[in-house]
Structure 1
Amino acid sequence: ARTPSVFPLLSCGDCKGQVSFGCFAAGFFPQPAFITWEGVASGESLSFPEVAMAKSQFGLSSRVIMDAEKAKNGKFVCQVQHRSSNLKEEIK
């Protein structure tokens, strides 16, 4: 099993009162992996299907869109679950 590398994804700013951010887990094997969020309400996140990468590895991403006011003082943590490990990455 290969452990994923986890990368935070940040938008460049405020778009009509909303912010977006995400998480990308790359380089894991085998499938599946799952992304969940701490500090994010149900319905605010969207996970995309796993994609094949080079050397029989896979990638997975998830994004969150929420009101900028709600996000201002929040703490948001991307959690990646895979058979090889459980990883957390705080979005700052």
Structure 2
Amino acid sequence: MPEVVEHHGVPVLVCEADGVAIADVQDALDHLIGAAFACAEVVAVPSARLDDRFFDLSTGLAGAILQKFANYRLRLVVLGDISHHLSASSA
């Protein structure tokens, strides 16, 4: 179960690493935004929960998910080592 913690006065929903994989916009709405909407301003999700396509900017998945976060006035924090995604990126 995700936990809400306060960090510098801001409520943060901290998601567990073994939760549902976020593979599309609907997953983000159902499992991240829906869980945070009434109780948090920030969602902290482990990078392992995000589909590899999230880190490939050419797919548009990151943009679509981040747009939903913006629409609901929430912020997303990706926790963990993403160096393998960065090294594979041409951007």
**Could you say whether these structures have the same fold, taking a TM-score greater than 0.5 normalized by the shorter chain as the test?**
no
Larger radius of gyration: 1
Judging by fraction of residues, say which structure has more helix: 2
Q: Does 1 or 2 have the higher relative contact order (CA < 8 Å, sep 6+)?
A: 1
Kindly indicate which of the two structures has a greater share of residues assigned to strand.
1
TM value normalised by structure 1: 0.28
